[in-house]
Structure 1
């Protein structure tokens, strides 16, 4: 018999952690196949049960609701005390909490930020990466030393601590814990493989591709600068003409002679709405009010030539400090530079430290957002949904709140924001 419903999405590490605990505890959980993330979790039926709007989220058969993956995992583990997932003594229970806290408060924030930097999801600077890498090396050493004399973190059987650590290391093994690191920290490697390959857990965690070489930061490609033309050499004295010799074509010269590809957005019919004029109006006017930029926008907007989109970061569960989330937006906007003349954005951080989301509004040339945003390497880290703010209702409220920087969602208030203009 099912114990309840777990709202999650396939492959989500925090969701898989709970499913692993449920499997070892013998607790059956249903996962609704029709759940659509970034849609259903923003609707009132979901928010009335789970105020944060986050997943994973648990609803038991008797109507008890719970969010936050660690709390859910502990609650599920308590349903099967004989499974020993929470330890058999108070001391063991405290040690399990110790390792879970170490991972949540120390290891994951640093490790996630390293991955954000390397993948271009935060503005990259070498000193910041170095500082984070040094911290993570200390955390690796702590884990490795503890495991050098024991099979599991606490006691002689798998506990919640083992599942928690292993699930936190999945992305690490995929991205940065390469062959060299696996040799350097053999006890971490051995423990990880012991947990994820447990017969009951293997179907949940699946096959995990190990990184052979750690991910490194690759700066965005810069446009090739044309070499300045050399001054024409003086003509030599007339000589007896010779038969022309065949010359090898220079591939670089051929490339330079080709006309630059036109952006398809430049071929769209002329629009009556001037995006640059709106950017100036937005910068110089109050947003709301009878003489505000929103009124200006509604009066002049051309629905045929432009479109409006809601944008949401897909990995809000990985966000930590508000300033880091704000930097994430700044990095995304920096990588949209090639689309500046086609795009306006107002995107913000809602919430507080370790409980915030990134969401906002984009106004773009044409009816399709993809040609405008796919110039950014991390554009697929966001979801995009068409907005119609021209009739009263939630979409209009969302649009105006994001533009005026007073948007509030699921109890989370606007904490910081950035404009792309």
Structure 2
């Protein structure tokens, strides 16, 4: 019996198991024509999960529900699966980050997002608490990823799959880099397709059905209040967000070098870096579309405390996040004793340093 996953094709909780299956070489069939609210209410489904929650995995030994448990099962089908690390401590760290992702990230996103979609009661104070808790979790994750490409070890593990399916953010540069590194992996792309982040926070929707039968019974007020609605509409127009200005770099002619391909090669090359990544870079490099720049910190004599120097570089990289679509950079803190020397190498779209980088 093949493993059968009961869920919709766009269910983010099902993505964990499907991506794990791609990495593990395990065949998992997604049921056809699954309809949320209908398929998960049938007697057959309720026997597999009495709560009716999705997803559920059918196995030869019986059903499994809860997305993390399903992903773990799929991963364990293959003996010695690298998705679970290569040592006991790596296994423990993988489980640690899976729990962190569920309890600190996914749970707080639900507390923030669901009320805005009308699925839970909206309470501003509760929303503030959820956002604060989510930012605290992402800040911790951001700190960990400052020196790591993946959560555990040097390749994708189940903790990366679980975490990536749970969050979205652009405020934390290392989390942002980590997110795009993973969703652009072939096995992620096969399941997720093209990923686009939401650019705005959804407006609050009422969780109650609107009862407006009385509105048509106010024709007498139409003449008196003809002007105020126009003023109100004008105010709304004034408050509407202005469209984003086009970045000048988007107007440059197309080129052969695809920056994301280089970033993926850089992130995924773990051995023989000079032969694979460096040679790959020069093969991709288009001097007509990109330029390379060395950078030196002007005040290296002030770098007398290691963690302060590290914070300076971290702050600089965070500000440079606005250029992630158009640039790639590597910063180094050189020296074992103060004063520490800060240097870097940057690849920018165009033949000059972009003006918005200079302004920054």
Following the alignment from structure 1 to structure 2, what is the Cα–Cα distance between the partners of residues 135 and 254? 40
Instruction: State the match for 1:152 in structure 2.
Output: 150
CA distance in 1, matches of 2:103, 2:229: 55
* Cα distance in 2 between the residues matched to 1:47 and 1:102: 29
Question: What corresponds to 2:51 in structure 1?
Answer: 52
Match of 2:18 in 1: 19
**Structure 1 residue 7: Cα displacement:** 1.0
Aligned partner of 1:252 in structure 2 is 227
Out of 77, 80, 86, the residue aligned to residue 79 of structure 1 is 77
Could you tell me how far apart the structure 1 residues matched to 2:226 and 2:174 are? 52
State the distance in 2 between where 1:131 and 1:44 align: 39
Identify the range of structure 1 (34-43 vs 123-132) with the bigger mean alpha-carbon deviation: 34-43
Cα deviation 1:168-227 (Å, max 9, x = unaligned): 01xxx3xxx3xxxx2x31111111111111112202112222223333547899989998
Matched, 1:38 2:37: yes
Q: Does 1:141 align with 2:139?
A: yes
Aligned residues: 223
CA distance in 1, matches of 2:33, 2:139: 43
8 Å Cα contact 2:6/2:55 also seen in 1: yes
Equivalent position of 1:70 in the other structure: 68
1:82-101 alignment, distance < 5 Å: 82-101=80-99
- Residue pairs, 1:348-367, within 5 angstroms: none
SS of 2:127's equivalent in the other structure is: helix
Say whether the 8 Å CA contact 1:8–1:57 is kept in structure 2. yes
Following TM superposition, by how much is the alpha carbon of 1:38 offset from its aligned partner in structure 2, in angstroms? Answer: 2.8
TM-score by length of 2: 0.55
Query: Higher helix fraction: Structure 1 or Structure 2?
Result: 2
| Structure-1-length-normalised TM-score | 0.48
Q: Is the 8 A contact 2:16 2:162 kept in 1?
A: yes
Asked whether the 8 Å contact 1:5–1:31 carries over to 2, the reply is yes
Structure 1 position 34, deviation (Å): 4.4
- State which structure, 1 or 2, has the greater radius of gyration over its C-alpha atoms: 1
Partner Cα separation in structure 1 for residue 165 and residue 68 of structure 2: 12
Residue in 2 aligned with 1:10?
9
CA contact (8 A) 1:18 1:69 kept: yes
Q: Distance in 1 between matches of 2:199 and 2:228?
A: 38
Alpha-carbon distance between aligned partners in 2 of 1:30 and 1:135, rounded to the nearest angstrom: 36
User: Is the aligned partner of 1:210 residue 2:208?
Assistant: no
**Which runs of at least 4 in structure 1 moved beyond 4 Å after TM superposition?**
218-230
Gaps of 5+ in 2: 231-360
Matches within 5 A, 1:281-296: none
Contact 1:24-1:83 at 8 Å conserved across structures: no
SS at match of 1:65: strand
* Residue matched to 1:163: 161
Cα distance in 2 between the residues matched to 1:19 and 1:107: 21
1:317 aligns with none
Shift of 1:35: 4.0
Q: Deviations over 1:336-392 (max 9, x none)?
A: xxxxxxxxxxxxxxxxxxxxxxxxxxxxxxxxxxxxxxxxxxxxxxxxxxxxxxxxx
CA RMSD of aligned residues (A): 3.2
CA 127–23 in structure 1, closer or farther in 2 if over 3 Å, else same: same
How far did 1:49 drift? 3.4
Is contact 1:92–1:155 with CA below 8 Å preserved after alignment?
yes
Structure 1 residues not aligned, in runs of 5+: 231-249, 256-421
